[in-house]
A and B are shown apart, each in its own frame.
Chain A
């Protein structure tokens, strides 16, 4: 199709990736107290891993944007850190010593992640808005 907005493919990939990240953060926060996940273990924090997908080798002298590395979500992985042990003997999931394995989710960490994901998301939205206004101006060349 016609590509009127330059450099927009990578931006849309980034918007999707950041949205995925926000979804994962929301899921982590919602499951902060899930002691038994579907696999019987406490919920394990999910982490989004980004990577660069180099379409062509990016050397000096690229004359257009098609050779630039495109960002994409590589995978959603589990945080390998062990679950927190909390002393809560009244909890039905407590073991013999009264310790409960809670998901290793730190609310502050999640909030910081969420802020940075939102920031990136908004920055990429600004890029789209900007590209659109530049394209409209270009189309007005020569119009009286």
Chain B
């Protein structure tokens, strides 16, 4: 019974997106820390994950959503921005960090709202 309570596809999708956002923040932090390191290649979320998440939340399959796992990988599409082979671009990275923060804020609010709704449904008041 408890499992059903927390197995709504939207809720699961929000939680998985939060996982991905936290991981992405680590990747961006690492990229910026290595902004000047020679030969460093930037890392980001594995490209397949976003498509999988979209597909799973469109299909509404809770099992599929619960099994998703975001991972980090070196970004194969990044081109070197300096002679020493470093592929991190400062402006791009800062933009990505901004966007990541916004997504985090949105997903946090959604999860919070869903939990508040559950409490309301259970107790009749918040």
Least distance between B91 CB and chain A CB atoms (Å): 10
A127 at the interface (CB under 8 A from B): yes
Would you give the 0/1 interface string for B82-126, flagging 1 where the beta carbon is closer than 8 Å to chain A?
000000001001100100010011001001100110000000001
Interface pair A68/B43, CB less than 8 Å apart: yes
Least distance between A110 CB and chain B CB atoms (Å): 16
B34 at the interface (CB under 8 A from A): yes
Least distance between B118 CB and chain A CB atoms (Å): 10
Interface pair B73/A61, CB less than 8 Å apart: yes
Which residues of B lie under 8 Å from residue A70 when comparing CB positions?
33
Interface pair A10/B101, CB less than 8 Å apart: no
Chain A, interface size category, equals 35 or more
Would you give the 0/1 interface string for A117-129, flagging 1 where the beta carbon is closer than 8 Å to chain B?
1011001101100
Number of chain B residues whose Cβ lies closer than 8 Å to a Cβ of chain A: 38
Interface pair B108/A138, CB less than 8 Å apart: yes
B26 at the interface (CB under 8 A from A): yes
A13 at the interface (CB under 8 A from B): yes
Interface pair B36/A116, CB less than 8 Å apart: yes
Chain A residue at minimal CB-CB distance from B84: A50
- 8 shortest A-B CB distances, which residue pairs? A65-B26, A7-B26, A7-B29, A14-B33, A60-B73, A10-B33, A68-B30, A62-B72
Please give the residue numbers on chain A whose beta carbons come within 8 Å of chain B beta carbons, in ascending order: 6-8, 10-11, 13-14, 18, 50-52, 58, 60-65, 68-71, 116-117, 119-120, 123-124, 126-127, 130-131, 133-134, 137-138, 140-144
